[in-house]
A and B are shown apart, each in its own frame.
Chain A
Amino acid sequence: MTRRWPARPEQLMPTVSLLAALAAFGCSPLLSGRPLEPFDVYNALQGFAQLGLLALALGITMIAGEFDLSVAGTYALGGMLAVQTGASSPVLGVLAAVAAGAAIGAVQGGLIARLRIPSMPVTLATYIALLGLTYAMSGGLSRTYTNGDATLWVDRTIAGVFSPRSLLTLAVFLVAATVLGRTKLGRELRAIGGDRRASRVAGVGVDRRIVGIFTVSGTLAALGGALLGYSYASANPDPGLQPLILAVVAALLGGVSLAGGRGAPLGLLAGTLAVALLAQLVAVTALPDFSTQLLYAALLAVIVAIESPGLRQAVERRRARRANAARRRPGVLP
């Protein structure tokens, strides 16, 4: 049993996606005919900042074996709340958004854990309700953010390629990586996602952890929405499904399994960066818009195929057949 194929998927998948996206991004001068500039990297990182917190919010619930669809709604609500309450004090706006996100997440987590309801219908209902709420708050119109200083500040360039927004997003990823990778809490979350019954038997407080993970997920999504609202200097009552779908793509590219128990924040980071790099690649080379979607689909197909159980079983079956044939051959019986 020495040959194991493939190696650890939660490392292999994000590594492959990030390297593929980086390679494609690095080759973009061949198409665009002009060398890459720091500004292109800055733009890619801005794309990363826009998606990152949402992908992390969704990804950590997936690691714990749940699926939080409501992050897209919290994202919209967070933006709207921050834009409407944070005109005089941007910090206050972010706090309002984050508090609302945490409260929404805690209620959902409580319902899912205590009443043992699957997370899909609960979070779907919340998503729809939050869209309605955001719509009601704004009267269905985009709201502009009047504090121009804050808008300039969040997207200010730092060291040529970063902005406060992308640095903050990176920092959150690093904190999440530390908590999930280095603490008891992280171990328990991965255990809950991997095998809930076994975790209970081992003595993990499964219900409380689930409430916690949804609270964190709501907080992160609202924070992401608030920062985006400041950056655009406006909030849209319905950002559509695009952000949610990209967050799922980022999570899957990052090696997070839909079945739970597998994945890490650093993988999510790599997956989100891959998505952002591909989007920027299309912008730099002035390819038609639809090529972004085709690139995502192609990369996702490759990543998912590497780790498909069907392929694994086929390999296992072929080995069994070979072993069988070897046993039947006379004279080579073990």
Chain B
Amino acid sequence: MSPSATDSPPIRVEGLARAFNGVPAVREVSFTVGAGEIHALCGHNGAGKSTVVKMLSGQLAPDRGRIVIGGEPVELRSRQAAQRAGVALVDQELSVVPALTVLDNMLLGDLDVPFVNRRRKAVARCRRILDDMGLERISPDQPLSALGIGERQLVEVAKALGQNARLVILDEPTATLSDAESRHVFAAIRRVAATGCSVIFVSHRLTEVLELCDVVTVLRDGRDVATHPAEDLTVDELITKMLGQTRRPPSAAREPGRDRAPGLRIEHLRVPGRLADFTLTAQAGRIHALAGQLGSGASDVLRALAGLHPGATGTAELRGRPVALGDPVGAARGGIAFVSGDRKSEGLFLGKPTAWNLVATRLPTLGRAGVVRTRRERRTARSLAERSGLPERWLDEPVVTLSGGNQQKVFVGRCLEHENVRALLLDEPTRGVDVGGRAEIHRLLRQAADAGLVVMFASTELEELLDLGDVIVTMRDGRTVRRYEGDTDGALLLRDMTHGPGPS
């Protein structure tokens, strides 16, 4: 079934569309990828890249439109169907199994692998693929759990490139890789493309997109707005196409940074493999935005401060008192409230009522001798709900029945008016939140800052960063790129996040 270089016709995507709960994520996307072509899909968050990738790889069925591979329309109902049609995938989320060895991961799901293992042959092939990627140090028999995140990602890329595919899709393959590692990945992609295999490459790092790819298709609001040969484009032109013609009007003038009490002082914060040396002094009363894509280390700053990275080193002081790193309970006691980007598993008690969730972190203040007083609990919940903009009738509804935006309001509301909380850290505060909910959450954060809290959030969304951040720190590859105070330009931020420090 392996296609040879000459007779493999291109991949064609025609009028693909897909909506979630009536909200269109992809409206109409068409493009073609030639044999041996490396084709980039670019677009800002929410442009529909991931949805297109999911449809092409058999993880989502399109509502409309069709996918043509090798001249025949295909219906990709599952990942297996896509594998049979010759589509290999490096998923946006790391999709290798830590419990298996490197070799087993390489073979997992590959249709060409025989039922009974031919170990010697498989090891030799695995060795060759690893060497091609510059991974001489990794042995096929190592358990994957012994490797770091970057190396696991490399194994996943190696696996997809090693399969005998017609089309290899790489969705953010380099987000957790160093530059040297990325270079090996690119070389391997070029080698695979040279055999006639088509490649679709999705990345937030625009420099590498232009360096690696032959053709770039730009997506915006679920449509393909432009397709260009990569050599005709510069990073700035690409950014303009991704953001569209409408430039944001500058947001309302902010108070200049007057002398304020030092709030949160972070020095030389490191998380092995994720964050290299982060230093920032955040004043109380101002909102600090960490701007960075997946793998930039922005959310790792917050997670480390909240005690969720056991390996974190460095010093942090909140109002002069040291924050214990690597200890979630200690961090909370020290006055740090962390609103995780993952509401479902690290935030709310989904099956419990709203009121219950709102007071969950302040039970000691509501009781006498360890017994919660119901009336007092009720009163507190009601006042918090009012402040967070939640109607009173929702207090007894389980949180799981609320929309994403309202769930997030419960999550943020829980941290407000808490005599113990001195710093509010939020990871992607409005992920999965509709426009109205977003404005209300932003209002809540502003109020929290005005009340004298240190507010710091990590986000990938330009609008949110620009609307909310009094101080914006751009990050890439675990390092700080630049620090902005007051108004700045979205294109500048995007450039820092995707391209690294340019000429200032």
Contact = CB atoms under 8 A, between A and B. Distances in A.
Interface of A: 1, 4, 8, 182-185, 187-188, 190-191, 193-195, 197-205, 260-262, 313, 316-317, 319-320, 323-324, 327
Contacts of B97: 190-191, 194-195, 198-199, 202, 261
Given A4-B146, A202-B108, A327 B313 contact: yes
B268 to A, nearest CB: 8
A317 to B, nearest CB: 5
A206 to B, nearest CB: 10
Given A4-B146, A316-B311, A320-B326, A199 B99 contact: no
A269 B289 CA distance: 55
B438 interface: no
B313 A203 contact: no
A195 B99 contact: yes
B117 A182 contact: yes
A182 B116 contact: yes
Is chain A's interface secondary structure helix, strand, loop, or mixed overall? Answer: helix
Question: Which one of B91, B97, B109, B114 has the greatest number of beta carbons of chain A within 10 Å?
Answer: B97
Given A316-B311, A317-B326, A203 B98 contact: no
Contacts of A317: 310-311, 326
Contact of A188 (B94, B108, B111, B326): B108
Contacts of B96: 195, 198, 202
A201 B95 CA distance: 7
Contacts of B99: 190-191, 193-195, 260-262
Given A187-B100, A190-B104, A200-B79, 12 more contacts: A184-B107, A184-B114, A185-B115, A194-B100, A198-B97, A201-B79, A201-B93, A201-B95, A202-B109, A205-B80, A317-B311, A320-B313
Contacts of B114: 184
Nearest to A184: B115
Interface string B70-94: 0000000001101100000101011
Contacts of B268: 327
A323 B268 CA distance: 13
Contacts of A190: 97, 99-100, 104
B59 interface: yes
A215 to B, nearest CB: 18
Interface residues of B, number: 38
B426 interface: no
Is chain B's interface secondary structure helix, strand, loop, or mixed overall? Answer: loop
A325 B325 CA distance: 13
Question: Which one of A4, A193, A203, A313 has the greatest number of beta carbons of chain B within 10 Å?
Answer: A203
Given A8-B143, A203-B79, A323-B313, A191 B115 contact: no
Interface in B312-328: 312-314, 325-326
The 9 closest A-B pairs by CB, nearest first: A194-B99, A261-B99, A203-B109, A202-B109, A201-B95, A194-B97, A198-B95, A203-B83, A324-B313
A296 to B, nearest CB: 26
Contacts of A202: 79, 95-97, 108-109, 159
A316 B79 CA distance: 37
B402 interface: no
B226 interface: no
B113 interface: yes
Given A190-B100, A195-B97, A195-B98, A204 B310 contact: no
Contacts of B98: 194-195, 261
A204 to B, nearest CB: 5
A8 B144 CA distance: 12
A149 to B, nearest CB: 39
Given A184-B114, A187-B104, A201 B310 contact: no
Interface of B: 59, 79-80, 82-83, 89, 91, 93-100, 104, 107-111, 113-117, 143, 146, 148, 159, 268, 310-314, 325-326
B89 A201 contact: yes
A202 B94 CA distance: 11
Contacts of B313: 320, 323-324, 327
A205 B84 CA distance: 13
B269 to A, nearest CB: 11
A184 B119 CA distance: 11
Nearest to A257: B99
A203 B79 CA distance: 5
B82 A203 contact: yes
10 contacts: A187-B108, A195-B95, A195-B99, A199-B97, A203-B83, A205-B80, A260-B99, A320-B312, A320-B326, A324-B314
Contacts of A327: 268, 313
A198 B146 CA distance: 17
A197 B93 CA distance: 10
Nearest to B113: A184
A261 B101 CA distance: 11
Given A187-B100, A194-B100, A320 B310 contact: yes
A197 B109 contact: no
Nearest to A197: B95
Contacts of B107: 184, 187
B108 A191 contact: yes
Nearest to A8: B143
Nearest to A203: B109
A108 B94 CA distance: 31
Contacts of B91: 201
Nearest to A187: B104
B116 A183 contact: yes
Contacts of B311: 316-317, 319-320
Contacts of B108: 187-188, 191, 199, 202-204
Nearest to B314: A324
Contacts of B159: 202
A324 B313 CA distance: 6
A183 B273 CA distance: 34
Contacts of A200: 79
Nearest to A314: B310
Contacts of B143: 8
B310 A316 contact: yes
A201 B96 CA distance: 9
Contacts of A183: 115-117
Contacts of A193: 99
Contacts of A204: 80, 108-109
Contacts of A184: 107, 113-117
A191 B79 contact: no
